Amino acid sequence: MRDWDDHYWWSHDGVRLHARIYAGPKGSEAAPPILCMPGLARNARDFEALAPHMAAKRRVIVAEFRGRGESAYAKDPMTYVPLTYVQDVVALLDELAIERFATVGTSLGGLVSMLLAATQPGRIVGAVLNDVGPELEKAGLDRIRDYIGAGGSQPTWIHAARAYGELNAAIYPAYDIHDWLRITKRTHRLTQEGRIVTDYDKQIAAPLRVPNGDDAGVDLWPAYQALGDVPVLILRGALSDIVSAGAARKMADALAKARLVEVPDVGHAPTMDEGEARAAIDMWMSDLPAA
């Protein structure tokens, strides 16, 4: 039996989007819910273990960005950018009449969290930033640009798991075939032709291919600092090539209620099923406002 309800909503440019909603326990209705947002090539299944765990204490909403999972593909691939995702998420929150909320964001989802803090002041009551921050390493970003949108199909789940494991062996060096199969089923789907493919629109890579002439990009420190004095948990994979150890410490020092936890033996990004990550998230939840 499923422990969530499907919810669909429309973006301002007419894209039908999907979220999973976990109701939370009785009596928790007044508590700000937790909004979960996945990484660039991920979907709601990324939170299939964490979301019900958190929903034991409060309502949880897992949004799927356009072009992923059950959310429709965008007609214009240049809308696959963070500011559009922010607009999409705000439309969902407003439709559900949610004024205040906490966020758990992996990679891209964490960037959207920071942009929500900057553009929706006072609405975020806490944030988990999973292996992401205002300073990102060029080497890791280049690695993502190289693989995103590429790849073909596999004939079986085992073939897909082995291929995914070869591609990501440095990120999860302790994984065995059962771990790879679990994460592959979160990130891939079965086509009508019976092939296994990644579960996202390959065109999400289009904005990443546009030369901008400046690898430094936009200064995200003001967006990060917009989180202010709410509880912030910074999760960093100890092997991460996206967030350096120094940048993570700088983040922790920049906000009064920020806490840094490193997840051992994983790169970008922790699944948040790890014991260290789960314990840190439980502690973070205990600091969130009850109403």
The predicted-structure confidence for 26-60, as pLDDT tens digits, reads as follows 999 999 999 999 999 999 999 999 999 999 999 99
pLDDT 10s digits, 95-151: 999 999 999 999 999 999 999 999 999 999 999 999 999 999 999 999 998 888 777
| % of the chain exceeding 70 in pLDDT | 98
Which tokens hold the place of 46?
């990324």
Contact 131, 237 (CB under 8 A): yes
Q: How many whole angstroms separate alpha carbon 210 and alpha carbon 217?
A: 12
Q: What's the pLDDT score for residue 217?
A: 65
Average pLDDT of the chain to the nearest whole number: 95
Q: Which of 69, 107, 71 is nearest to 89 (CA)?
A: 71
Helix or strand run (H / E) with residue 91: helix 82-95
> CATH for 5-141+207-286?
3.40.50.1820
- Which amino acid belongs to residue 262? E
Whether the pLDDT of residue 218 is over 90: the answer is no
Q: What's the pLDDT score for residue 150?
A: 77
Q: What's the pLDDT score for residue 213?
A: 41
Q: How many whole angstroms separate alpha carbon 218 and alpha carbon 240?
A: 21
Query: What is the residue extent of each domain of the chain?
Result: 5-141+207-286, 150-199
CB atoms within 10 A of CB 76: 11
Indicate the length of the chain as a whole number: 291
Contacts of 197 (CB under 8 A, 6+ apart): 151, 152, 153, 154, 188, 189, 191
